[in-house]
Structure 1
Amino acid sequence: MSLKAYAKKRDFSQTPEPAPELSAGFCAQIERTIQVPKDGRPLYMVHDHHARAHHHDLRLERDGVLSSWAIPKLIDPRQPYRRALAIQTEDHPLAYGYWEGAIPAGNYGAGESRIWDTGTVEFLDVQKNKLIFRLAGRKLQGTFVLILFRPEEKAWLFFKKKEEGPAPQGRTPTA
């Protein structure tokens, strides 16, 4: 996975966003500072991005970068099974997962970006057009799915998978 598209869209003399060259040591230092419970698993984070259109950015650590999706319909933990459009964007450097701040007007993604949620991700099934993963975060917990349904637009469907569990008492599961 490459960060060329990420770097091409940004002028790092104009934006405070992290450049791709930031070291793994920087990420480790930030992890200690904000006390991310990594426990050996890759990280995920969701940024609350007040850009031209308010949205959430879902970022999943994969192959040394953050695979990223913009979710226009904000994620709402109170409506966990709601399906949402997720537009895949360029990969971001790992350091971006710890970054918060304002992207100045006139720059790509201009607006305020804050970390809304963070935690670990465990990939359960990775295919070209589908990802199934378990999130263990402060706000998002459980198994989630991303399914590519319009490849030409990089449009994915994002939703929480209903968890299998024991049948409620007094009821028999139907076949």
Structure 2
Amino acid sequence: MAEHDLKEYRDKRRNSTTSEPSGETSTSAEGVGAVTPVFVIHRHDATNLHFDFRLEIDGVLVSWAVPKGPSLDPSTKRLAHRTEDHPYDYADFEGRIEEGYGAGTVIVWDTGTFENATEIDGDEVSASQGLDNGHLVVVLHGQKLAGAFALTQTKMNGDEANWLLVKVDDSGADRRRRPTSTQNESVLSGRRNQDIAADEH
């Protein structure tokens, strides 16, 4: 099982210049093996606008940066670059990150719970095992996204951090709806990235 260490998260941030959680509270209140793990998708308007796709696995938020955001079209593959694990208390973070790593504005674009539906050779396995094996299937119960999504490690261009995020063709699929383009507000506060920039500049 993969080791989840928040040292990389802490090393990339200076607590004196960021409003982000410090990472000292590293795991969820339920701890490892929570019955209803959470997912969160942050809309992060940094040097380049992207969406951070995060799954609670083993008490931390395992994270991928998705440049174009998740698609509801099963025929569309999205690059998802694995980034450092984030602390559980990052799940409801919104704010402006000042100069430095990740500088820009962050909102909670979508959040909810998820079910693990990962299988290896027809047998159900834990999300942690799926992560180790480079393939995860999760069923999201969010406000903007619903249904199953698959994450598969591709090692594209020789980089083990490169994965693909694809919508599974189920009742949550929609080849016409483009939520990442048409629904830009936070599901927690109703604010948009530009609102945060104005509020906290």
Q: Give the TM-score range, shorter chain.
A: 0.7 to 0.9
Give % identity: 42
Choose which of 5, 9, 14 in structure 1 pairs with 2:12: 9
The answer to whether 1:119 aligns with 2:120 is no
Which structure has the greater CA radius of gyration?
Answer: 1
Aligned to 2:57: 62
The answer to whether 1:43 aligns with 2:38 is yes
Question: Tell me, which stretches of 5 or more residues in structure 1 are unaligned?
Answer: 29-38, 165-175
- The Cα shift of 1:153 comes to 4.2
Which moves more between the two structures, 84-93 or 124-133?
124-133
RMSD: 2.1
Choose which of 67, 75, 97 in structure 1 pairs with 2:70: 75
SS state at 1:75 partner: coil
Normalised by the size of structure 1, how large is the TM-score?
A: 0.79
For 1:57 and 1:94, the matched residues in 2 are separated by 14
1:20-57: CA deviations, max 9, x gaps?
113769x79xxxxxxxxxx9410001000000000000
SS state at 1:68 partner: strand
The answer to whether 1:135 aligns with 2:129 is no
Give the number of equivalent residue pairs: 151
Aligned to 2:96: 102
SS state at 2:76 partner: coil
Aligned to 1:147: 152
SS state at 1:98 partner: coil
Normalised by the size of structure 2, how large is the TM-score?
A: 0.70
- The Cα shift of 1:97 comes to 0.7
For 1:92 and 1:23, the matched residues in 2 are separated by 8
